[in-house]
């Protein structure tokens, strides 16, 4: 198609061009545009109506994540919504108060994870099996993650995501992320005691605002956390 300039003095034909750097087709680009426009419309509607979190998750946040990850075969996202009290067959992955009592079980809404190749998935299975046989006292479950949720047993969680409505409790949402991340770091430590624990990215979504946080194990205080905020 072509678009002809209305100003005759600048009369030129503007040919349609696909400038996508990643080589996506016109169909894929149009599909993405339609998705983005639908997401924008839903966001405006929910913000004006002060709609509840499930509506935001279903029609906005979930769709944003799907559109963002669509070009990447090795990165995917899944709606979690499972209690932290079931992250492991052993409850001691859950962090504790300084008084010694376990923190309240929290949950995250989404987990962005890596999709391993068949060969890597087999290596993960072998590693977990070997660890369970050699180090049964660590209480590590048959999962690469801190959750026994079957679809993620052999898919490493890369980013944990918590959502809330614009007028929701930000402190509570951060606590959910912190408890979940603490369990993930503890699980990694048990799987590989000599490994330098990575810094974990966390995402807090509030309506149309997306904030990224980073958390790491604080070596100065043993199993404590540093960097949430």
- Measured at the CA of 190, the angle between CA 222 and CA 218, to 5 degrees, comes to 25
Confidence check: pLDDT of 20 > 90: no
Q: What's the pLDDT score for residue 83?
A: 45
Give the pLDDT confidence of 33-52 residue by residue, as tens digits: 999 999 999 999 999 999 99
Query: Would you state the structure tokens that stand for residue 113, as one six-digit string?
Result: 């994870």
Give the pLDDT confidence of 128-150 residue by residue, as tens digits: 988 888 776 655 668 899 888 88
Q: What's the pLDDT score for residue 92?
A: 59
Tokens 């809330």 locate to 164
Tell me the C-alpha distance between 83 and 108, whole Å. Answer: 8
Give the pLDDT confidence of 52-85 residue by residue, as tens digits: 999 999 999 999 999 999 989 999 999 886 544 4
Pick left, alpha or beta for residue 46 (phi over 0 → left; psi -120 to 50 → alpha; otherwise beta): alpha
Domain boundaries, the chain: 2-226
Please state which of the ranges 66-70, 156-160, 194-198 shows the lowest mean pLDDT. Answer: 194-198
In 134-190 the beta strands, taken as DSSP E runs, fall at 157-164
Other Cβ atoms within 10 Å of 26 Cβ, number: 10
Other Cβ atoms within 10 Å of 147 Cβ, number: 27
Query: Would you state the structure tokens that stand for residue 78, as one six-digit string?
Result: 């899944």
């Amino acid at each position: 198609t072509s678009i002809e300039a209305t100003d005759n003095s600048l009369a030129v034909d503007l040919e349609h061009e696909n400038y996508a750097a990643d080589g996506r087709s016109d169909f894929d680009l149009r599909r993405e545009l339609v998705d983005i426009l639908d997401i924008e419309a839903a966001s405006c509607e929910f913000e004006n109506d002060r709609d509840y979190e499930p509506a935001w998750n279903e029609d906005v946040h979930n769709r944003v994540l799907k559109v963002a990850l669509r070009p990447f075969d090795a990165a995917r996202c899944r709606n979690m919504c499972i209690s932290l009290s079931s992250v492991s067959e052993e409850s001691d992955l859950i962090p504790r108060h300084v008084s010694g009592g376990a923190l309240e079980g929290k949950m995250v809404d989404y987990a962005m994870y890596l999709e391993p190749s068949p060969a890597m998935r087999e290596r993960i299975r072998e590693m977990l099996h070997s660890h369970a046989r050699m180090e049964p006292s660590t209480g590590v479950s048959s999962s690469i993650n801190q959750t026994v949720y079957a679809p993620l047993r052999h898919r490493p969680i890369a980013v944990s995501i918590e959502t809330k409505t614009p007028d929701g409790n930000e402190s509570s949402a951060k606590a959910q992320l912190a408890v979940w991340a603490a369990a993930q770091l503890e699980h990694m430590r048990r799987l590989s005691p000599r490994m330098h624990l990575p810094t974990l990215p966390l995402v807090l979504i509030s309506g149309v605002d997306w904030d990224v946080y980073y958390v790491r194990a604080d070596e100065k205080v043993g199993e404590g956390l540093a960097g949430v905020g």
